[in-house]
Structure 1
Amino acid sequence: MQENKGLVLVVEDEQNIADLQRRYLSREGFGVHVEADGDAALAAVRRMRPVAIVLDIALHGMDGMEVCRRLREEGDWTPVLFVTARDEVTDRILGLELGADDYLTKPFSPQELVARVKSLLRRAAGPQRDPVSRVGRLTLDTGRRTLLVDDRPVELTTTEFNLLAFLMSHPEQVFSREQLLGQVWGYAGYRDTRVMDVYVSQLRAKLGNASPIRTVRGVGYSVTGAGR
């Protein structure tokens, strides 16, 4: 019998697409629950506590972006994979700013959907043995998935946390956007490297003047021992 890898909540109002997602995720050992609208999705998250959410943006009534916004406002950081027929850069950026962890544009292969969900869960789990990292005014605990700035807790999304953890574990090293996408997102060659700029901007906003992230013009980013 295949090991159950946890429950994935699929929020999709097109029945054929929802059935396809359910079938392929189930084959990989995930339990799958499907909802077709935003209100029902929020209720299902609170009731079932899924390990990940595959969330269509263009839902009737409350759309996927509003669902994600409400979850994050409630302090729920369940990994969210947005699925949408829209491929506008502004839509992707808005979704990431609301706290989504990844973004998949229709049409997509069901195998890629499964790979993205697995990648989200690997990133959420983090490395098995990582010590507490301290850089400047930041203390990051990858075991407890916590970040303190001057002993004050700061909430990060899964991807924000993993990006910061990777940079802090390689102080003073400069990484290109492509390298960071490969390390943090779990796959290289992502077509739009500007999403990395969005995450860095969000991290800097949350860390304020304690941010140790430095922009290396024309190359990428690094972490230094002091704030920016």
Structure 2
Amino acid sequence: MYNIFLVEDEKNLNDILVFYLQNEGFNVKSFICGLDAEKYVQEEPHLWILDIMLPDMDGYELIKRIKKQNDDTPVIFISARDEELDRVIGLQMGSDDYIAKPFLPMELVIRTRKLLTRIYENKKISKTINLLINNTYTIDFNKRMVFQENERIDITSKEFDFLAIMINNKNNALSREDIITKIYDKDYFGSDRTIDDLVRRIRKKLPELRIETIYGYGYRWCESEY
């Protein structure tokens, strides 16, 4: 059962969302204010659902605390301001999805289920618990971690998503748009150059990994012959 922490200061909406999420089978702990939620950051639920506009601590500040505790923890932002800037800032800070008020509670349930499935269940490569690449890097798909000679390499959740996608599509050319869709689904608002930044960071952290640039198109991972 997935544990979800919901932070929404509108009491009626909070109660409704809790009802719908619990009815879907999720274990939900809800908060009305950010300061109360902050006390539970160390519990590391499977997902946080955060309202950006809170009376005491906004969602941006709270997501900083969440990501500092565990950068892999997924977050869905809720906002009454349907502005592209909010979406972009949220994604830059590590949110995995964004939903604007007003919305149907069932829409949040669907997005939640889809996100949890994508992150925790629906990785085709996840059937392989550990994968050794280039005799250098060990990829643990269950724990979503990367190791080199038993030393953990610090990578973000989005970097791991990118790495898993490339490995799962070995030797296949993927466009930037393909990669964005696989990482962010169809709800991404922003430049596809975000993928270039992911590649730059991955290359720096995993220099032995061969990720080829296909200029004007995207990228391809080519498994080493040795």
> If the TM-score is normalised by the length of the shorter chain, which range does it land in?
0.7 to 0.9
Partner of 2:20: 24
Is 1:9–1:34's contact at 8 Å kept on the other side of the alignment? yes
Q: Does 1:75 align with 2:70?
A: yes
Amino acid at match of 1:115: I
Q: In 2, Cα distance between the equivalents of 1:193 and 1:114?
A: 21
Partner of 2:154: 155
Amino acid at match of 2:97: D
Within 5 Å, give how 1:1-228 maps onto structure 2.
5-46=1-42, 48-75=43-70, 77-126=72-121, 127=123, 128-130=126-128, 131-134=130-133, 138-148=137-147, 152-185=151-184, 187=185, 190=186, 192=188, 194=190, 197-198=193-194, 201-202=197-198, 204-205=200-201, 207-208=203-204, 210=207, 212-225=210-223
Is 2:138–2:148's contact at 8 Å kept on the other side of the alignment? yes
Aligned-pair identity (%): 32
Distance change >3 Å, CA 216–CA 78, structure 1 → 2:
same
The alpha-carbon deviation at position 108 of structure 1 amounts to: 2.5
Q: In 2, Cα distance between the equivalents of 1:103 and 1:199?
A: 19
Aligned residue for 2:39, secondary structure, equals: helix
Alignment deviations for residues 12-37 of structure 1 (CA, whole Å, 9 cap, x no partner): 11223212211211110112221122
Distance change >3 Å, CA 220–CA 202, structure 1 → 2:
closer
Give structure 1 stretches of 5+ with no counterpart. none
Give structure 2 stretches of 5+ with no counterpart. none
Distance change >3 Å, CA 203–CA 106, structure 1 → 2:
farther
Aligned residues: 218
Amino acid at match of 1:155: D
Q: In 2, Cα distance between the equivalents of 1:107 and 1:41?
A: 23
Q: In 2, Cα distance between the equivalents of 1:137 and 1:89?
A: 41
Measured on the aligned residues, the alpha-carbon RMSD in Å equals 3.0
The alpha-carbon deviation at position 196 of structure 1 amounts to: 5.5
Alignment deviations for residues 6-62 of structure 1 (CA, whole Å, 9 cap, x no partner): 33111011223212211211110112221122211111333x542211111111222
The alpha-carbon deviation at position 156 of structure 1 amounts to: 3.5
Amino acid at match of 2:144: R
Q: In 1, Cα distance between the equivalents of 2:149 and 2:82?
A: 39
Is 1:7–1:50's contact at 8 Å kept on the other side of the alignment? yes
TM-score (norm 1): 0.78
TM-score (norm 2): 0.79
Amino acid at match of 1:6: Y
**Larger deviation, residues 121-130 vs 36-45:** 121-130
The alpha-carbon deviation at position 91 of structure 1 amounts to: 2.7
Is 2:91–2:97's contact at 8 Å kept on the other side of the alignment? yes
Amino acid at match of 1:45: V
Aligned residue for 2:35, secondary structure, equals: helix
Is 1:123–1:159's contact at 8 Å kept on the other side of the alignment? no
